[in-house]
Amino acid sequence: MGYVKLYSTWVEIDLESIKENVRQVVENTKVTVMAIVKANAYGHGALPVAKAALSGGASWFGVARVEEALELRQAGINRPILILGYTPPKRYDEMIENDISLTVWESEQIDAIAASANKIGKQARLHLKVDTGMSRLGVQPENASNLANLISSSSSLIFEGLFTHFARADEPDLPTTQQQTELLMIILEEFNNAGFQPKYIHAANSAAALTHPSTWFKLLRLGIAMYGLHPSPKVQLSEAFRPALSWKTVLTQITTVEFSRGVSYGHEFIAQPGNRIGTIPLGYADGFRRIAGNQVLIRGLKVPVIGRVCMDQSMVLLDSVPEAKVGDEVIVIGKQGENHILAEDVAKRWGTINYEVASGIGQRVPRIFI
């Protein structure tokens, strides 16, 4: 409530929800959890979320980029951090020095990382990624043993993990996840026979962590569920999970229309005499999409956004909330009175997924941690 006089638009993150969501998964699965905090923790704020996840029982962190790994390490997070994807070769030394675990899928990477490790006199931690069916990143299964051999035979390298990523775990009725898991098991058996021993095997994202115990292995890579967001329409969180993020703004001006007039660029909406138009400091540069059909909550009621969304501002039609006043808090995502707008509702409106909605909230929008 107090932020309405401090910010134009802001996000509130309930860290207790993050902690509690992680705790649920740790308790239900009894498997070690890697908190996926890439993309500024899906827009929630990487460092505070990482600390909350730790207090909920997470032991590992997963990120996408070198910069994300360093942000955590330099802030004093001393747990294992894995870069899940590409690491630019010129950053290998820095990653090894900072004890960041790296994902590899080609022999050239393994050779270059071993050379870096040798040079600086410190072992590098590697996770071999196998492409079992996502066709995004990973060695093809038939070549996995060659790379495992390369890692295992270098004294500069620690074979810390073997992993894969599911393409359709959020559609639990399909056989794809089971098929990918079986492929991973075949590779594991080959590794066992050859004496390659990656310490951690991991495959499950949130959807698989919720629906597919056979995919859990020794580590879960928990993203969307930690934020209290549903993995998909077919994999819904139980009531015990709570969304951590609310997105808010404030009514800055109210105009009562005296004669028919166009609203915003292009005059796509024509206001009629008697209409009350409200202005909110929220625009596409904040990550609020420039499409028709947006809604926000004011005084607990859903009101339509009218006219084109501008870079920093938008207009709303206030006819259904005559008591609305300048200074009122406006909800983009979250609860107000008896009503709520979920990230999933916004995703539906925008023709996308909750992941994109949360991670797309603009960098300039302050994150307030409560």
Ligand X SMILES: Cc1ncc(COP(=O)(O)O)c(C=O)c1O
So which residues are the catalytic ones?
A: 38, 265
Q: Which is nearer to ligand X, 223 or 287 (CB)?
A: 223
Which helix (H) or strand (E) segment is 29 a member of? helix 15-29
> Smallest gap, in angstroms, from Cβ of residue 166 to ligand X?
9
* Residue in the shown chain whose Cβ atom is closest to ligand X: 223
* Buried b / exposed e along 312-348 (16+ C-beta atoms within 10 A): bbbbbbbeebeebeeebbbbbbbebeeebbbbbebbe
Q: Which residues bind ligand X (CB under 6 A)?
A: 36, 84, 165, 205-207, 221-225, 231
> Smallest gap, in angstroms, from Cβ of residue 240 to ligand X?
17
Which helix (H) or strand (E) segment is 261 a member of? strand 261-263
> Smallest gap, in angstroms, from Cβ of residue 354 to ligand X?
10
Q: How far is CA 13 from the centre of its chain?
A: 13
Q: Which is nearer to ligand X, 225 or 309 (CB)?
A: 225
Which helix (H) or strand (E) segment is 350 a member of? helix 343-350
Q: Which two tokens stand for residue 257?
A: 């229309």
> Smallest gap, in angstroms, from Cβ of residue 278 to ligand X?
35
Distances (CA, A) of 328 to 1, 251, 256, 270: 10, 5, 17, 24
Mapped onto helix, strand or coil, the DSSP state of residue 299 is coil
Q: Which is nearer to ligand X, 236 or 253 (CB)?
A: 236
Q: Which is nearer to ligand X, 139 or 207 (CB)?
A: 207
Distance CA 192, CA 250 (A): 60
